[in-house]
Amino acid sequence: MKIIFFTLILLLNAFNTVYASDDGSGTYFGLAGGYTTYNAFFTHNQYYIQDETTVSTTKSFHENSTGLKVYGGYQFNKIVAVEAAYVEYGKFTTTDYTQDPSSFSVYANLGYNFLNGQLRPFGMVGLGSLNNFQSRDLLQQTMKTIHGGVGIEYSPTSLHGLGFRASVEWDAHADYQNVVDENNNQEDSVLFYQNYSLWSLAVQFKF
Domain of 148, in residue numbers:
2-206
Considering only residues 54 and 103, tell me which one the structure prediction assigns the higher pLDDT. 103
141-160: per-residue pLDDT in tens? 999 999 999 999 999 989 98
Whole-structure pTM value: 0.82
pLDDT for 80 beyond 70: yes
Residue 8 banded pLDDT, cuts 50, 70, 90: very low
Q: Do 59 and 48 touch, CB atoms closer than 8 A?
A: yes
Rounded to whole angstroms, the Cα distance separating 147 from 169 reads 7
Residue 29 banded pLDDT, cuts 50, 70, 90: very high
Task: For residue 35, give the CATH number of its domain.
Answer: 2.40.160.20
- The residues with which 201 forms a beta bridge, in sequence order, are 33, 166
pLDDT for 203 beyond 50: yes
Q: How many domains is the chain partitioned into structurally? A: 1
Considering only residues 96 and 106, tell me which one the structure prediction assigns the higher pLDDT. 106
